[in-house]
Amino acid sequence: MNNDVVLLDGLRTPFGRFKGALAPIESRTLNAALIKALIGRNPDVEHCDGVILGQVLQGGLGQNPARLAAAEGGVSLSVPAITLNNVCLAGLASVADAKRRIQCGEGELYVVGGGDSMSRGRHAAVLREGVAGLKPVNLIDTTQSDGLWCGIQDAGMGPLSDELNAKLNISRDDQDAFALQSHQRAAAAQDSGFFGDEIYLNPEVYELESDEGVRRNSSLEGLQRLKPAFSTDGSLTAGNSSQMSDGAAIGVVASAEYARRHERTPLAYVVETAQTAGPDTSLHLRPADAISAVLKKTGLSVDDIDLFEINEAFASVALASARKLSLPLDKVNVNGGAIAIGHPLGGSGFRLLLTLARALERNKKRFGIAAMCGGGGQGFAVLLERRGS
């Protein structure tokens, strides 16, 4: 029996800047808009076998946000749904989960991906016990605590990463040059119309038409003038770190048999996945670890892979992982990355995979790997294969 799994379709919203054009819109609404569009293109999705969506900032959004978005988007209430929170890894994890379910015979058609609005992360406080006397109440910023804070180390991922930059000898100059490249490549991709087939425009829900964070006038001189973001002698800045963002990216994963039976040409085959963790809570080398795990499982080498998408949580993460595996940078993030496009947490993983699949097709290449680091020191990678002429 053919046990292959395919990426059948996918769409994403434009990614909005933090407190920018998408800030008034809940993540559930962004997710639902994409699901509705996917049903329009793939009517069977209404009665698919499950909805698996990544979302990190869930507080105050209601029970099981994935099911709420699925219902709002037009998926039958007879279809189960689950919300995944694996921090930034959640979008890739949803694809791996769907792949396992299909190969275990639990179904053949799943909605995957995810989304987050970092602008709408709630402020919270524990008031259930009551507030005694007259005193102020301190609020927790859940965008920070749930999305940007390492709970194991009890420290922000920015300061922790800044410390590791020095240990790994990743210079400020190299980070700024990589950040500039991210903006230049993203701008070129916009100009060529590359993102047009993956970005879903829906003026009834949002007016934004392209990724809001791409800075066409970015220059190396401008990036070098920015002050360190986390410590006076650090090398991380607002310019060489990923942008906090709002957005969603959602798609359809199916069995290859389903695609054949319905005469559908997949975007790519989902060949293998891998998740890694540790040995500590650092981020820089976790994508490299996950890529290595996928290569080991498949018997492929780095040289067999044509394109890589490594999430630009920080420029130093992509640089460190690329250096560890001796990856040429002309194979890494060829259409820019999160420094320019944005990083809406649960919305980033599937965005990487969708962009990768489309880049393989455009460049007529065979293998690509999307990889990410995640808070707490974890990594995830997914290997895609383009088949056919």
As annotated, the active-site residues are 88, 343, 373
Q: Say which amino acid occupies 181.
A: Q
DSSP at 342:
-
Q: What gap in Å lies between CA 347 and CA 120, rounded to an integer?
A: 14
Q: What gap in Å lies between CA 170 and CA 316, rounded to an integer?
A: 7
Cβ(257)–Cβ(108) below 8 Å? yes
Q: What gap in Å lies between CA 81 and CA 70, rounded to an integer?
A: 8
92: helix, strand or coil: helix
Q: Say which amino acid occupies 67.
A: R
Question: Which residues fall within 8 angstroms of residue 364, CB to CB, at 6 or more apart?
Answer: 386
Residue closest to 333 by CA, chosen among 363, 308, 316: 308
Q: Say which amino acid occupies 242.
A: S
Q: Say which amino acid occupies 52.
A: I
> What's the gap between Cα 248 and its chain centre?
9
Token look-up 């690509």 returns 368
Residue closest to 305 by CA, chosen among 277, 338, 332: 332
